[in-house]
Each structure stands twice: as structure tokens, then as C-alpha cells.
Amino acid sequence: MTRGTLRVLLGAAPGVGKTYAMLQEGHQLAAEGRDVVLALVETHDREPTAALVDGLEMVPRRGFTHRGVQLSDMDLAAVLARAPEIALVDELAHTNVGTGGNEKRWQDVHALLDAGIDVISTVNVQHIESLGDVVYDITGAAQRETIPDAVLRAADAIELIDLTPQGLRARLGEGLIYPPGRIDAALSNYFRLGNLTALREIALLWLADEVDSALEKYRAEHGISARWETRERVMVALTGGEEGETLLRRGARIAARSSGGELSAVHVTAPDGLLAAHPKVLADQRLLVERLGGTYHQVIGEDVPAALVEFARASNATQLVIGASRRSKLATALTGPGIGAGIVRLSGDIDVHMVNHAAAASGHRLPRSRGALTRGRTLAGFVLALLGGPLLTWFLTGLQASDDSITVDVLAYQLLVVIVALVGGLFPAVFAALLSGLTLDFFFINPLYTITIAEPTHLVVLILYILIAVLVSVVVDQAARRHRAATRSAAESALLATVSGSVLRGADALEALVNQTCEAFSLRGVRLVESNGEVHSAGTPGPGPADTVLPVGGHATLELHGRDLPASDRRALAAIVSQLEAVLDFRAVSAAASELAPLAEADRVRSALLQAVGHDLRRPLTAATTAVTSLRSTEVAYSAQDRAELLETADESLHALSVLVTDLLDVSRLQAGMLGVNNTVISVEDVLLPALEEAGLGPADIEVDVPQDLDQLTADPVLMQRIVVNLLLNALRYGAGTRRPILAASQFAGRTEVRVIDFGPGIPAAAREAVFVPFQRHGDTDNLTGLGLGLALSRGFAEGMGGSLAAEDTPGGGLTMVLSLPAAPEPTEPTTPAEPTGGASA
């Protein structure tokens, strides 16, 4: 039996139209005469989707009871018995609970595929198992329904059902996704523009990776080893010269010509053949790379062409952009074809663009300190001695006219020796001196054409030749060594500047240092293991032992994998290790300082408390004392009405004083971390109704919008009631507007949110956090409304219960206070929708 095919419709978020597209496909296939059945569909009460169900054959669901709840799910046995050609199965990531069969719906789908039935299904990107933590970080919604990546990648076809974030929010606002009562909360939480944009990008990237994986699988199955340019990856080689900007812009244009092209830039610290790079120019070019949307890398390599091509292959680059060489023909003849020709020779199937530029430039290098002159210069010295000697002899033989010409001959050969010393160093110079001395004796000193040193002066001349050659060679050798050392120091400084720049631009210090170490020294992998067990790695260190292990102070060890670094590279590595040690020390000091921060905050609160107590407690205390003193006075005869007013004043003042003292004690408990919280499982109504009664509010004062089907939450009912009462009174006091305040409740991502919405003047975004600071009143215009502890206490109570309290804008003007508390844990129940139901009621 031929196995069926699986086609999956992938969506970035609920409501993009996956189920709608699946049903449309079903109608089209049925119109073509195909045997199509609707094995399972979830319309979520969306009228356009529900309308498409009509006209398609539906296999009845199988009902069952799970923990006392009547549920229904796909009847796998009935679908297999029906044996259609094509089955439409919605929500591939659904969990089958209480069915007694497969645990997951995708397992049911595999059973259908094994029976030869083609399946069309749907899934959202947030249900892909490998993306669960990423989606949670973005949306705050944990996904219990997941599908393994391997299962989804095994599908025969994956199609993205795309909709712009603005379009999806417009559909949500029109009521096409959720009921009207759930729209505002959904727009404010899961369906935020930033969330939807990020989810859409994740879906596109995941699908692009799937296409790449499918292509690589096809190439492997068919034995195709040639490079296929499915996505342009352009790498620009930077030397640190001013032409780098031209190369980068040319590379960006090449990458832009193909959709999805990637741009990267790499700078190799090179051996001889390049001038010293300018750090400022290189830093500017790095910023330009980032502005162009590319990435910057810096590596160290003794062989520049090999390092560039190796890095290009490792990054799967398809095109390499380099600058044209400006060396003269003589320099090319003496030292070889140059870096550009070497890159072309090694590039293989990577296209190389050699771009002409106005200025020659070169990169920083970390040359080997053990060699002063390169082999190329030494070889060039020997070649110059072998070719220059005979040519000079032929020239001088033609000019010889008298015995006085011997002086000219000696000086000419001496000049040749000096030139060879400058080019090739010691050994070619000594060789040229010996060859010149013998040539002079053979061709120009009597007796001619014999190697005879008859006169002592001739021996002195030969010794002088050799001595001059040695002295000039020593000077050249020392100059070359100093030049190499200076160039290496400059390259090390450039490397450290690159590392520091990564940290200053906001990158994590440890991660930046580890990554730069791996790239700069061309290592396979680098791992930094802290004493507390935390590990920072770059590259692929591998399971084997490290080639080099260095201690980083007393805090960590640095493991280098790939090769043992030579002594010439250890100085730059030691500087990086010192920076790692400084970062770890700074983190330790910062951790100690953060432990002292609460003490400083407590001192600040106590100071503010002393300032506020003397001023704000005096009013109720003075009023109560005055009233009681007047009642006790025998000098004045008060009427019954006057005595009642005095008693009422005393009662109100003492009550206000009691409330202030209670708030002060609560602040002290919060600061000391001794707040008593008794979290229990409660219903929202158990708190909101008593809070309305305590605040003395009725339908004429406030509008209530609380759904009746909200799940229970975990909170301290007493503290939660105090928070809600305080928010309600603040909304009435400061939020007088064109309509009554609103008290609303909803649920999202495992949390219950209570919103107190007013339509008053609101609070500027920059001043919202200030209202949660103790002893702050909005505007600070009077001293008749307490110490300004209400919102500070409310946030402290909320955080003590594991929740949060935040201020948001009210659409149209005003302020919305959002109290978020964790929902009560409940046993796992089969959730019919495979999309975040909390996203609609957040």
C-alpha cells in the first residue's frame, strides 16, 4: 500500500486563516471529483470559517467523558473505516486526552498516512517544539500543545499562510477572530504589533531553513556535490584600508540583487604584503557593515588567501569581494602574484569579485616574531645575486679601457652587494660578496682568468666585501624585526579594540570576548567555564580535551580547541584573558553591590517616612485632639448637635489615623520582606464584589465587565481586595472624564488580569513609574489624601502574591491600571483549540 502524503498549512499566529484555507482547499478538491472528508475541524465560533464547513462530508466526532466533563475528538477508527482519499484534520499539535488511543493528534495523522490516506492539516508556529522558549520570551504565553520538529519536517509539503500583522489586528478588531468582549485584551497582549511581527519573522525563517534542509537532503540523495546558489551569501574581505567602504557597498549591492541575500565582512590579520591597517578606518567600516545589515568577523591567519577562503567555505559564502592589488610589476615578479591571485586559485566554486579602488591598502597582521625577512625576500636576494653578477660583469667588461677602471669595477660590485643585502638579507649578501670577489679576481685582476690571490691587498678587498655585506644585512635584519614587532603590536591593538568595541556596543562582555577569541585565532571552538558551573562557548569545542587550558584568575578556566597556539600569539591571548578576568571581577563586584541596593533603598524610604510622618499625621491627630479637648471642656456649653459633630470629627480623624498607621506598617513589612501573604485558590467574583461594596460604588458610579466563565486564580483575597479598592478610589478621584470608569477582568497565558480603566487626563509615560514610589501623590497638590502610599502598597501586595501592577494608556485618553495574578493550577484538560485561548482574553 502506498503511504499517503501530508500537507501542512503553517501560520504565524491564530486567526491568519489556516483553517479557512484548509476548508477552501477541501471544497476545490471535492469539486474536482476527489473523495474528501472532514475528519476534524475547529471553527472557534468564527462565522466565515463555520460557513465553509457546509458542503463537506464530516466524519462524526467520538464523544467521551474525562474527569466528569463531556468532550469530543476525532474518531480515528471511523475515519479509517471510511477510508477516504483525502482527510482534512485541523490542529496537528493537539493533545488527545482521555481517548485511550494515541497521545497526540499527529500520531493519529500518521495512522491515516499509513493507511494510504492523504492528509491536509494546520499548525501554528508557536506549537513547534524547538521554538517554544523563543515564543514564550516574545509573547509570555507558554505552549502546552507542541509538535516535534522532526515530525513537521517529515511532511511532504509545508505551506505558509501569511497575513501582515496590521491585517491580522484589523481582522481581530472587526470581530472575525474572537468575540467583541475579548478583543481589547487580545490586542493589548498576545496580538501586539511587535509580537505578531516577531512571530511572522520566526515562521518565515523556520520555513526558509526547512527549504534549505530539503534542498540539502535532495542533493545528498542524488549525489550532487556542486554548489547551488539558492541564496546569495556575499563575503567582503577587508584589509583595513580606505577602499573598504567601496568594497562593502559593492558587496551590499550584490547581496541585494537576490532576495534574502546575506552580507558579511571579514578582516584577516595578515603576514607581509599588506600595509598596516588604520584602526579608525576599520572601526568605521565595521559600523558601515552593521548599517548595511551585515555581520563583521575578524580572524588571524598566517596565509591570508587560505584564511579568507576557509572562512568563506565555513560560512557557506557564494561570492567573495576583494580589492584589486596595486603592486608594481617588479614587486609582483619578485614576491609572487599576491593575495588576490591566491584567493582566485583557492576559491574553487566561490565566485570572486576583484574590485578596483583609488588607494592601495592592507590589513593588520600578527606576523611571526621568529622570522625577520620572509622566504620570498631571501629567495629574491639570491636570484638578484645570481642574475645581477653576470650582467654587471658583462657590462663592465665592455667598458674596460685602462688599468684605472679597476676602481669603478670594485665600486660597482660593492653596490651590487649592498642592493642584495637590502633585498635578501644576510645570506644572499654574503653569497653576493663571495661571488663578486671571485669575479673581480677572475676577470679584472692580473693574471686574468685565474683564481689567484697573489697580492695581500686582494685578500683584504674580499674580506671588506664580506664585512660590508654582513653589516648591511644586520641593519636590514634588525629593521625588519622591528617592523614586524611594531606591526604585530598594532594588530594586537586592533584585535583588542575590536573586542572592546563589541562590548561597548552593548554585546555581552563574556560572549563577545569568547567569540572574538575563537574568530581571531581561527580556532575550532572556545569554552569559558566559570567556577559556578556556567559555561560560555563559541564555535564547536567538541567533547574531547582542550588543546590549551588557561586559568582566568580564580574565577574560571579558558579552553581552546583546534590547535596549540604558538608563542607569538600568546601575548594577544594574555590580553584577552586579562579582560575576561576583569569582566568576571566586575560581575562579582556588581553582584555584591546589588545586595547592598535594598539596604540603600530601605534607608531612603525610612528618610522619606520620617519626613512624611511629621507632616501628614499631624492633621488627623490635631483634629482628633481638638475635638476631644473641646468635649471635655467645661467652659463652653455645647448643644447636642455640636457634641455629635465633635464626636464625628474625632471618629473620622482617628479612623484616618488608623488607616495611615496601617499603611505605614505595611510599608515597613514590605521593605523588610516580612509581608504575610496567604495565597489561596479563589474566584475573581469573590474579591471584586466585596471591593465594590467597600468602596461604596454602584452601577451609577462604575461599569463592570467581568465574564462569568473565568477560571480561578491564586491570590490572597484580603490583599487583592485592598488593591482593587485602592485602584477604584484612585480612578474616581483622579480619572473623572466623559464616562464612568470600567472594572474589567480577563485571562491570558495562564494569568488573570483585573483592569481598572478611567477616562481622565491620564499620566505621561515618563511619570508612570513615579506613582508607584512611596510618599508620592499625583501632582503633590494637597496633603488631604494620605501619605501617597496607596499605589506603592498595591504594587508591593501584587508582587508579594506573585503578580504585577502596571499602568497603561486608555485608548482615547485616560489611565488603565492592570493587576496581573497567576491563574490557579489545574489538571491538564483537553483543549479543543490548538491556539492560545488566553490570547483572546488577556
Asked if pLDDT for residue 85 goes beyond 70, the answer is yes
Amino acid at 446: N
- Model confidence over 559-572: pLDDT tens digits? 888 877 776 666 67
- Model confidence over 424-450: pLDDT tens digits? 777 887 788 778 777 877 787 777 777
- Model confidence over 693-738: pLDDT tens digits? 888 888 888 888 888 778 888 888 888 888 898 888 888 887 766 6
Give the HSE-up count for residue 776: Cα atoms under 13 Å, Cβ half-sphere: 13
Q: Which range, of 25-29, 319-323, 470-474, averages the lowest pLDDT?
A: 470-474
Q: Residue 294's domain spans which residues?
A: 233-355
Q: Rounded to the nearest 5 degrees, what angle is found at the Cα of 317, between the Cα atoms of 312 and 319?
A: 105
DSSP annotation of 95 = B
pLDDT of residue 275: 43
CA–CA distance, 399 with 546 (Å, rounded to integer): 68
Residue 604: pLDDT band (50, 70, 90) is low
Domain match, 668 and 692 both: no
Residue 487: pLDDT band (50, 70, 90) is low
Percent of the chain with pLDDT over 70: 73
**3-state secondary structure (DSSP) of residue 782:** coil
Q: What is the torsion angle, in degrees rounded to the nearest 10, for the CA atoms of residue 791, residue 793, residue 796 and residue 797?
A: -110
CA–CA distance, 228 with 226 (Å, rounded to integer): 6
**3-state secondary structure (DSSP) of residue 297:** strand
Domain match, 418 and 458 both: yes
Last residue within a domain, chosen from 431, 464, 482: 482
Asked if pLDDT for residue 221 goes beyond 60, the answer is no
Q: Calculate mean pLDDT across residues 512-519.
A: 78
Residue 835: pLDDT band (50, 70, 90) is very low
Residue 622: pLDDT band (50, 70, 90) is confident
Asked if pLDDT for residue 538 goes beyond 60, the answer is yes
- Model confidence over 184-200: pLDDT tens digits? 666 667 777 778 888 88
Last residue within a domain, chosen from 221, 246, 268: 221
The answer to whether 269 touches 300, Cβ cutoff 8 Å, is yes
| Residue 263 domain-assigned (yes or no) | yes
The residue that leads in pLDDT, 445 or 111, is 111
**Pairing relationship of beta strands 556-561 and 525-530 according to DSSP bridges:** antiparallel
Q: Which range, of 230-239, 261-270, 330-339, averages the lowest pLDDT?
A: 330-339
632, exposed or middle or buried, with CB in 10 Å at 0-12, 13-18, 19+?
exposed
Domain match, 239 and 174 both: no
- Is the alpha carbon torsion for 485, 486, 489, 495 positive or negative? negative
- Model confidence over 267-323: pLDDT tens digits? 887 544 344 556 678 888 888 888 888 888 888 777 788 888 888 887 778 889 988
- Is the alpha carbon torsion for 439, 443, 446, 449 positive or negative? positive
Domain match, 690 and 656 both: no
Q: Which residues, 6 or more positions from 66, have their beta carbon under 8 angstroms from its beta carbon?
A: 97, 98, 829, 830
| Residue 212 domain-assigned (yes or no) | yes
- Is the alpha carbon torsion for 599, 604, 610, 616 positive or negative? negative
| Residue 595 domain-assigned (yes or no) | no
CA–CA distance, 213 with 196 (Å, rounded to integer): 26
Q: Calculate mean pLDDT across residues 485-511.
A: 61
| Residue 706 domain-assigned (yes or no) | yes
Q: How many domains does the chain have?
A: 5
pLDDT of residue 831: 45
State the alpha helices, DSSP H only, in 617-639: 618-632
**3-state secondary structure (DSSP) of residue 176:** coil
C-alpha dist (Å) from residue 536 to 332, 515, 708, 815: 45, 9, 50, 44
Concatenate the DSSP letters of all residues of 374-443 into one string. Answer: -HHHHHHHHHHHHHHHHHHHHHHHHH--SGGGHHHHHHHHHHHHHHHHHHH-HHHHHHHHHHHHHHHHHH
Q: Please name the residue that has the C-alpha cell 557597498.
A: 249
Last residue within a domain, chosen from 482, 514, 543: 482
Q: Calculate mean pLDDT across residues 589-614.
A: 66
| Residue 208 domain-assigned (yes or no) | yes
pLDDT of residue 23: 92
Q: What is the CATH number of the domain that holds 710?
A: 3.30.565.10
pLDDT of residue 236: 92
Domain match, 240 and 172 both: no
Amino acid at 343: I
Asked if pLDDT for residue 119 goes beyond 90, the answer is yes
Q: State yes or no: cis peptide before 447, omega within 30 of 0.
A: yes
Domain match, 699 and 818 both: yes
pLDDT of residue 832: 43
Domain match, 784 and 712 both: yes
Domain match, 318 and 460 both: no
Q: What is the CATH number of the domain that holds 273?
A: 3.40.50.620
- Model confidence over 739-797: pLDDT tens digits? 788 888 888 777 888 989 888 888 888 777 877 776 555 544 444 445 556 787 788 77
12, exposed or middle or buried, with CB in 10 Å at 0-12, 13-18, 19+?
buried
CA–CA distance, 642 with 628 (Å, rounded to integer): 12
| Residue 793 domain-assigned (yes or no) | yes
The residue that leads in pLDDT, 615 or 123, is 123
Residue 351: pLDDT band (50, 70, 90) is confident
- Model confidence over 645-657: pLDDT tens digits? 878 887 877 776 6
The answer to whether 413 touches 441, Cβ cutoff 8 Å, is no
CA–CA distance, 729 with 758 (Å, rounded to integer): 11
Domain match, 269 and 169 both: no
Domain match, 156 and 195 both: yes
The answer to whether 286 touches 501, Cβ cutoff 8 Å, is yes
| Residue 360 domain-assigned (yes or no) | no
Q: Which pTM was predicted?
A: 0.39
Asked if pLDDT for residue 225 goes beyond 50, the answer is no
Cell readout for 494 is 586592533
Asked if pLDDT for residue 668 goes beyond 70, the answer is no
Q: Calculate mean pLDDT across residues 206-228.
A: 58
Asked if pLDDT for residue 372 goes beyond 70, the answer is no
**What HEC string does 490-545 produce?**
HHHHHHHHHHHHHHHCCCCHHHHHHHHHHHHCCCCEEEEEECCCCEEEEECCCCCC
Percent of the chain with pLDDT over 90: 7
Nearest to 580 by CA among 671, 498, 517: 517
Domain match, 748 and 792 both: yes
The answer to whether 441 touches 458, Cβ cutoff 8 Å, is yes
| Residue 55 domain-assigned (yes or no) | yes
Domain match, 644 and 704 both: no
Asked if pLDDT for residue 140 goes beyond 90, the answer is no
Q: What is the CATH number of the domain that holds 85?
A: 3.40.50.300
CA–CA distance, 322 with 250 (Å, rounded to integer): 10
- Model confidence over 676-697: pLDDT tens digits? 677 888 888 888 888 888 888 8
CA–CA distance, 359 with 356 (Å, rounded to integer): 9
